[in-house]
Amino acid sequence: MTIQWFPGHMAKARRQVQEKLKLIDVVIELTDARIPQSSRNPMVDEMVNNKPRLLLLNKSDMADDKVTSQWIKYYAEQGIQALPVNALKDKGKQEIIQACQELMKEKHEKLRAKGIIKPRAVRALILGIPNVGKSTLINRLASKNIAKTGDKPGVTKAQQWIKVGKQLELLDTPGILWPKFEDELVGYKLAVTGAIKDELLDFQDISVFTLRYLANYYPDKLIERYKLDEIPEDIVKLFDDIGTKRGCLMSGGLVDYDKTAEIILRDVRSNKLGHLSFERPNEK
C-alpha cells in the first residue's frame, strides 16, 4: 500500500493535542472495537504521560462480542480501564461518567483533604484517530449542553466545554492523531474497517487480507453469506467461487476480481456477515 504521512502534519497534530492536554484531567481515548490496537496511536502513551486515561472501544455494535470481552480483560490486566461503547446509541454514557469520576477519585480526595469540599467537574478530552467516532460520541454526550467559555477579551482561544451531567465536562473539539501503520498488517486492518479513504486503497489487496482473516476465524459466516460448499485453500479459487456466486463475471465468463473485492469489502463493512473483529489480543 502506498500511503504517505507527512511529518509536518504529524508534528502539527501532536502540538494541537498537547495544547488540549494542558486543559484537562482525564483523557478519553477512542478506538475501534474491531481493531482496538491498530486503531490506537502508540504515541498516545508518551504524550498523555501521567494523566488518567479511559479507553473506549467504540463501534462495539459491529464487533464480535466475544473478542471485545477478551480485549476488555486484556486491558484490565495491564491496568487500563476499557469500556465497550456505541456512539450511535446512548449505551455507555453513564458508565463513561462514572469511570471518569473513578479515575479522578484520588485527586478529589486530595482536594477534600485540603479543605476544598466541592471539587469541580472532571474535565476530559476525547482523543483518537480519524473516523473512529469522536464527533459522533461528542454529539451524543452533548445533548445540547454546550457551555460557552473563553470568548472574553484577553482569552485568545475560544474553548467550549460540553457538560455531560453535573460531574463531567468535555472539550468540544476532539484531539486527532494519525494512525500508525508502518506495519502493513495494521494498514490492512484500518482499511477493512474503513479508517482509510477508499481512494487510497487497492481493493483486491485488502480483500485478500479480509478473506484470509475470515477463512481463519469466521469460516461459517463466509460459507453462509456466499453459499459456498467449502472454503478452498487457494485464495484465487475462493475469489472465483465468491465472484461466480455473486454474478461478478466479465464477458467470456471470467470472474471480475475488482467487482468481487468491492462486494466483499462492502458486505464486511455493512455487517452483512454479522459482527466481526479483525484483531485479537496476543495474536501472532
Residues 6+ apart with CB under 8 A from 136: 87, 88
Write down the least CB distance from residue 42 to ligand G4P, Å. Answer: 18
| Shortest Å distance, C-beta 37 to ligand G4P | 17
User: Does residue 270 belong to the site contacting ligand G4P (CB under 6 A)?
Assistant: no
Q: Among residue numbers 180 through 219, which ones bind ligand G4P (CB under 6 A)?
A: 194
Q: Which stretch binds ligand G4P (CB under 6 A): 117-125, 127-135, 155-163, 239-247?
A: 127-135
Candidates 17-25, 106-114, 133-141, 198-206; binding stretch for ligand G4P (CB under 6 A): 133-141
Q: Report the nearest approach of ligand G4P to the CB of residue 259 (Å).
A: 20
Is 134 a binding residue for ligand G4P by CB under 6 A? The answer is yes
**Residue 34 and residue 63 in contact, taking contact as beta carbons nearer than 8 Å:** yes
Which of 31, 41, 68, 131 touches ligand G4P by CB under 6 A? 131
CB of 216 to ligand G4P, least distance (A): 24
The owner of cell 504521560 is 49
Q: What grid cell was written down for 237?
A: 479459487
Q: In the chain, where do the E strands start and end?
A: 26-32, 53-58, 81-84, 122-128, 146-148, 160-164, 168-171, 175-176
Q: Which of residues 100-119 bind ligand G4P (CB under 6 A)?
A: none
Which of 34, 59, 180, 189 forms a contact with ligand G4P (CB under 6 A)?
Answer: 59
Which residues belong to the annotated binding site for GTP? 58-61, 131-136, 175
The smaller minimum CB distance to ligand G4P, of residues 127 and 208, is found at 127
- Is 179 near ligand G4P (CB under 6 A)? no
- Give the other-Cβ count within 10 Å of 53's Cβ: 19
Given a contact cutoff of 8 angstroms between Cβ atoms, the answer to whether 190 and 181 are in contact is yes
Size, binding site for ligand G4P by CB under 6 A? 16
Nearer to ligand G4P (CB atom), residue 119 or residue 194: 194
DSSP-derived letter for residue 120 is P
For ligand G4P, the binding residue among 88, 116, 147, 185 (CB under 6 A) is 88
| The C-alpha cell that represents 48 in the structure block | 498523555
* 277 touches ligand G4P (CB under 6 A): no
- Using a CB cutoff of 8 Å and minimum separation of 24, what contacts does 117-123 make? 121/163, 121/166, 121/167, 121/168, 121/169, 122/25, 122/26, 122/167, 122/168, 122/169, 123/23, 123/24, 123/25, 123/26, 123/161, 123/169, 123/170, 123/171
133: contact with ligand G4P by CB under 6 A: yes
State the Rg of the chain over Cα: 22
The CA-based dihedral angle spanning residues 151, 152, 154, 157, taken in that order and rounded to the nearest 10 degrees: -10
- Cell 467550549 appears where? 160
Minimal distance in Å, beta carbon 32 to ligand G4P?
Answer: 9
Q: Which residues bind ligand G4P (CB under 6 A)?
A: 58-59, 61-62, 86-88, 128, 130-136, 194
